[in-house]
Structure 1
Amino acid sequence: MTNFSIQAAEATQRMRKLFAATPLQRNDHLSNVYGADIWLKREDLSPVRSYKLRGAYNAMGKQVDKEVFICASAGNHAQGVAFVCKHLRKKGVIFMPVTTPQQKIGKTRLFGGEWVEFRLVGDYFDDTLRASQAYCEEVGGHFLSPFDDQDVIEGQATVTYEMLEQLGRAPDILILPVGGGGLSSSARRLLTERAPETEIFYVEPEGGKSLAAAVAAGEPKTITKVDNFVDGAAVARIGQHTFAALRGIDADHVLAIPEDRICTTILEMLNVEGVVLEPAGALALDALKDLKDEIKGKTVVCVSSGGNFDFERLPEVKERAQRYAGVKKYFILRLPQRPGALKDFLGLLGPDDDISRFEYLKKSARNFGTVLLGIETPAPENFTSLSERLEAVGMSIRDITGDEAMIDLII
């Protein structure tokens, strides 16, 4: 084995002191849908329900002389660090934004117990990060980057190393989610040495295309606007060390997935397979839709990178999935202000159309009232026939489903 392969092998052996290898499972449902041999590397089944535990353990294990470990995170990285602090019996100080939900704080505290201290600083993550780094310098601790650290990258390589061992061969295609690049850079380095024939696809959320920006520029670039819905992969700037390993990849192998479409995959895996995935954990699986022609008849591994899904988000996920599928829409309806107008409107609905929202927004006009209308229906084409029926009787209706500003205000 070459150098990085040896490092990954040794890191994989170290992981066994902390947890068993996560399963590599063939998924019959996805295999049947896409006509391929599709396997899932189930990082959502690690002790902290994400692969971030690996990088934290590898990096902290190499710095056991340090008295205190510090990180800034409100998600999977914090949970991984907390878990390792308890295992190594080392103090950890985890900085989180003030806006972090109590559910995330409580879960991280559960993993770290008495070994972890929490500091809530700043409304935005950049403020939190600066505070954590200043504190680290002040106390002489060891700062744990979530991705841009060579020891963290080496730890994340154990995902790919285990996958190769479990499959017994290299897959034709490996599909990876990308945030800061720790997982993807480690996979590329290892497969370049062990299985250069394996094709790798890198998947980002549409609202966080930091890898695509870096590939286009030839160096890491900060993107100005990030959609944080896919919070485990929504990163404004890919890491310097991670991009060094990703430089030169084919831009056509970097895919961007709409956030609303990811929601359809989260629901599909939950309802059909009983698999709970967070948005970042569903990225690689969702990309199969874009690669259906490419993967047919091939052996494909998708990394399901995390399952830390807060079920309080389920209504939002369902809402976004329905809007993406075209079976839920929002309209502004001008309804005549006369007796029987509402009854007339209801009579125009199809037998399967369901009103999910009906709210007067304005009642000052003498002849017409403005109504916010939400409708669910089993088939997208039902909306076309509904609009035609409304227009035929002179009821003015405007589709606002795609108006982001309006949707943000009313939903």
Structure 2
Amino acid sequence: MMTQDILEQLYNEIPKAREEIYAVGQPTPLESVSLNGDDFDIYIKREDLGPINAYKWRGGYNAVLNHHRQTGCDTIVAASAGNHAQGVALAARKLGLKAKIFMPLAAPIMKQKAVERHGGDNVELILTGDTYNEAGEAAKAYVKETGYTYIHPFDDIYTMAGQAIIADEIVQESDAPFDYAFLQIGGGGMAGAVSAWLKKNWPDIKIIGVEGVDQACMGKSVAHGEAITLESVDTFCDGTAVTRPGNWPYPSGHVYCAVKAFVKQFSLALRADLNGTNIRVTNIEPGMAETPFSLARFKGDAKKAEAVYANTTPLTAEDVAESVVWAACLPAH
């Protein structure tokens, strides 16, 4: 779950991003997928139809625009395995800025050419290091030396706000809330921002974060209780080959919502297994319940834990227990 101060900043920036990013792209369609059976509907957000055939033009443009306004610096620096680089290149050309973009030596030629195509003469491509992390360290060292502006691919409030417009479009285009959203996780910027905006508009939606088994920096960070750095990750899917989640996205990539979704799915599966017996299965899904969970999440900081429930009348553990007893005492049928 995302901390309240980050949420407030993000909520403030998302409407601003909505007014800016369509200078370089248009909303992408939300398409229905046809499957056998009619007991559920699946929709896919077609970010492959955007100006760089990926979603990262949104955050790239919003971050470049805002950092340029703040600093006045005419040269920006980025590191990327490919898609963020294209978004930054597109932004640099649109805004008339110079961009120095660091990419690993193993970056696909197709993506290198795409960066050059989107950026034109405004972009200088610098190939260095074997991985995104090594290219990123080289880019940061260059920024420290030159004083230019660094555009982070996920650990930046403006990048996250731009990516959140994916959720904004989904909400505006949909006739009713969705039950679940499945979001890929690399560094967590898109997943954190999109999940935050979806939950703000559709509080009951369940967010499921998805990451590769050999790219599980977010999942392992959550299990560890703080952001950690993996020694290595699989680079077959280069766009999500991140060894450490961002400091901004990490709190919003928390597993809490995913756990609630698992409990519901487990209950449904168990109900199906016990069909035809006299055993009934249900699950309790409390929200805004005041329990020691928040105190544990904020490592004992009582003020932060209390702030979660400010201006509300939260449920208590006793309320949840009463719901369990009520469900258990329901009459047959």
TM over 0.5: yes
1:73 Cα deviation from its structure 2 partner: 1.2
Q: Distance in 1 between matches of 2:45 and 2:157?
A: 23
Note the 1:292-371 alignment, pairs <5 A. none
Note the 1:223-262 alignment, pairs <5 A. 223-247=230-254, 249-250=256-257, 252=259
* Structure with the higher fraction of residues in strand conformation: 1
- Aligned AA for 2:30? L
Q: Distance in 1 between matches of 2:105 and 2:182?
A: 34
In the alignment, which of 53, 59, 74 is matched to residue 57 of structure 2? 53
Q: 1:134 to 1:33 in 2, by over 3 A?
A: farther
- Aligned AA for 1:39? Y
Q: 1:60 to 1:37 in 2, by over 3 A?
A: same
CA-to-partner distance for each residue in 1:307-336, whole Å, 9 max, x for gaps?
xxxxxxxxxxxxxxxxxxxxxxxxxxxxxx
- Aligned AA for 2:116? R
8 Å CA contact 2:32, 2:42 repeated in 1: yes
Question: Residue 214 of structure 2: SS of its match in structure 1?
Answer: coil
Q: Distance in 2 between matches of 1:134 and 1:214?
A: 26
Alignment-derived partner of residue 74 in structure 2: 67
Q: Distance in 1 between matches of 2:92 and 2:260?
A: 37
Q: 1:225 to 1:4 in 2, by over 3 A?
A: closer
CA-to-partner distance for each residue in 1:185-225, whole Å, 9 max, x for gaps?
10222133221100111100111111110111111112223
Q: Distance in 2 between matches of 1:77 and 1:108?
A: 9
- Aligned AA for 1:66? C
8 Å CA contact 2:76, 2:98 repeated in 1: yes
Note the 1:93-112 alignment, pairs <5 A. 93-112=100-119
1:237 Cα deviation from its structure 2 partner: 1.1
Matched, 1:11 2:17: yes
Q: Distance in 1 between matches of 2:205 and 2:27?
A: 22
| Long gaps (5+) in structure 2 | 1-7, 271-333
1:128 Cα deviation from its structure 2 partner: 1.8
Q: Distance in 2 between matches of 1:63 and 1:126?
A: 22
Alignment-derived partner of residue 281 in structure 2: none
Note the 1:10-409 alignment, pairs <5 A. 10-28=16-34, 30=35, 32=36, 35-64=39-68, 65-247=72-254, 249-250=256-257, 252=259
8 Å CA contact 1:215, 1:251 repeated in 2: no
8 Å CA contact 1:12, 1:162 repeated in 2: no
8 Å CA contact 1:212, 1:251 repeated in 2: no
Question: Residue 76 of structure 2: SS of its match in structure 1?
Answer: strand
Q: Distance in 1 between matches of 2:95 and 2:245?
A: 29
8 Å CA contact 2:218, 2:245 repeated in 1: yes
8 Å CA contact 1:71, 1:145 repeated in 2: yes
CA-to-partner distance for each residue in 1:163-184, whole Å, 9 max, x for gaps?
1001133211111111100111
8 Å CA contact 1:53, 1:81 repeated in 2: yes
Q: Distance in 2 between matches of 1:62 and 1:244?
A: 23
1:5 Cα deviation from its structure 2 partner: 4.1
| Long gaps (5+) in structure 1 | 256-289, 295-411
Question: Residue 241 of structure 1: SS of its match in structure 2?
Answer: coil
Q: Distance in 1 between matches of 2:85 and 2:261?
A: 27
| Count of residues in correspondence between the two structures | 256
Q: 1:254 to 1:171 in 2, by over 3 A?
A: closer
8 Å CA contact 2:208, 2:257 repeated in 1: no
8 Å CA contact 1:79, 1:107 repeated in 2: yes
8 Å CA contact 1:86, 1:112 repeated in 2: yes
> TM-score, normalised on structure 2?
0.71
Question: Residue 239 of structure 2: SS of its match in structure 1?
Answer: coil
Q: Distance in 2 between matches of 1:3 and 1:132?
A: 27
User: Between the two proteins, what is the percent identity of the paired residues?
Assistant: 34
Question: Residue 211 of structure 2: SS of its match in structure 1?
Answer: strand
1:58 Cα deviation from its structure 2 partner: 0.9
